[in-house]
A and B are shown apart, each in its own frame.
Chain A
Amino acid sequence: MSCGQVLIGGGFFAISLLPYNLECNIICQTDNATGLSLSPSFNSYFFLSFCLFFLNKSPTLKFKVLSIMDRTEQLEAIRDIRKMMNRSVRFLSLSGLSGVFAGIYALIAGFIVFTYTKGILLWDTYSLKDIEFFVALGTVTLILAVSTAFLLTRRKAKREGARLWDESAKNVLINLCIPLIVGGILCIALVSHGLNGLLAPTTLIFYGLSLVNASKYTFSTIRQLGMIEIVLGLLNSFFIGFGLVFWVAGFGVFHIIYGIYMYYKYDRA
């Protein structure tokens, strides 16, 4: 007969013995908290009297009963602590689907660019007019991706009963924007110097840095995606001219992969 059974038995018997008020309370709580089912078999009744005797005589057994109650309570306390620490710092309403949609938009944009350049994407011989077209297309894609992300995230926040705009959301946005704006300004400088080939790697690198920076305030998975973008950007900087390939991989394929991964990991729970 295990110690646990002894304790359960003790609890059951104590209920019927109200004079032992204090013990009764403690043991009942134990049973509720641990969720152990009680079966009033002959066996347990036999152990009841045995237990009660010890409850009064032996402080160690009483202490063991207490400790089980403590353990479940403490486990819950730790779960609470973790939840509060996470929720107060991290923005957890971000929807994984927004990544999937951003990736799809990027793939479509990539396809448009591919047909626009008639399949010539291996070397940068773009004129200023081409660049203007790319910038316009990129802006449209970005606006679509951001607004879809906003709508999906708002939906998720509503479903979870969380507020969309709070301290953690603000932290994500600020930390995302710092490298992003720096990268954007640098890109303008690059274009003004005619260094168009460096545009794709620069955007990838700074977008990756943004994700790594913001990952402290949302799902840590974002950090991995950021690292991948940085690596792709750095690789691209050595293979200038393959910008579109790296862009489609970084903004399209990996967004979709990570979006699906995050959707299954965080959204469907």
Chain B
Amino acid sequence: MKDIVNQLNKAFENRIRLGIMSILMVNEHVSYNRLKELLGVTDGNLASHLKALEKLDYILVEKSFVDRKPHTTYNVSKLGRQSFKEHIDALENLLKTK
């Protein structure tokens, strides 16, 4: 039981990070604004969580310009996909054990 809890990834404990990863897992590319809209969070909040996930190499950032405006899209990295899958598996196991 204790082992399972330890398998949970601390990086995904936050609601917003969990949301970001869930969205990125099923979509190829997601823009910053789309994430903001789906999660219903403020700019600063979202940006800090995105930065944290980026630092862990769980998500990849692509910056480009559309009509001279900065356009940022995100997608999940290989490592991120694997880590998130492990996290979900651990969640499932945790719920199964009781």
B60 interface residue (CB < 8 Å to A) = no
Q: Are B25 and A85 in contact (CB under 8 A)?
A: yes
B23 adjacent to A88 (CB under 8 Å): yes
- Given known A84-B38, A89-B27, contact A63–B98 (CB-CB < 8 A): no
Which residue of the partner chain, among B1, B18, B26, contacts A88 with CB atoms under 8 Å? Answer: B26
| A63 to B23 CA separation, bound complex (whole angstroms) | 32
Is the Cβ of B37 less than 8 Å from the Cβ of A166? yes
* Structural contact, B91 and A88, CB atoms closer than 8 A: no
Task: Specify which chain A residues have a CB less than 8 angstroms from the CB of B26 in the assembled complex.
Answer: 85, 88-89
Is A158 located at the chain interface by the 8 A CB criterion? no
Let me know if A67 and B19 touch, CB within 8 A.
no
Q: Is B95 part of the contact surface with A, judged by Cβ < 8 Å?
A: yes
Flag whether A78 is at the interface (Cβ < 8 A): yes
**Which residue in chain A gives the minimum CB-CB distance to B12?**
A77
Contact B91 A167 (CB under 8 A): no
Given A63-B2, A81-B22, A70:B38 Cβ within 8 A: no
Q: Give 1 or 0 for each of B3-38: 1 = CB within 8 Å of chain A CB.
A: 001000000000100110011011100100010011
A-B contact count (CB 8 A): 55
CB distance from A62 to the nearest CB of B (A): 12
Interface string of A58-77 (1 = CB under 8 A from B): 00000100010011001101
Complex Cα spacing A167 to B22, Å: 16
CB distance from B44 to the nearest CB of A (A): 20
**B61 at interface, CB cutoff 8 A:** no
Nearest CB of B to A74, in Å: 5
A88 close to B30 (CB less than 8 A): yes
Q: Restricting to B70-98, which residues have a CB under 8 Å from any CB of A?
A: 88, 91, 94-95, 98
- Cβ proximity bits A77-113 to B, threshold 8 Å, 1 near / 0 not: 1101110110111000000000000000000000000
Supply 19 A–B pairs (Cβ within 8 Å), ascending by A. Answer: A63-B1, A67-B5, A70-B5, A71-B94, A74-B94, A75-B95, A77-B91, A81-B18, A81-B88, A84-B22, A84-B23, A84-B38, A85-B23, A85-B26, A87-B38, A88-B23, A88-B27, A166-B34, A167-B34
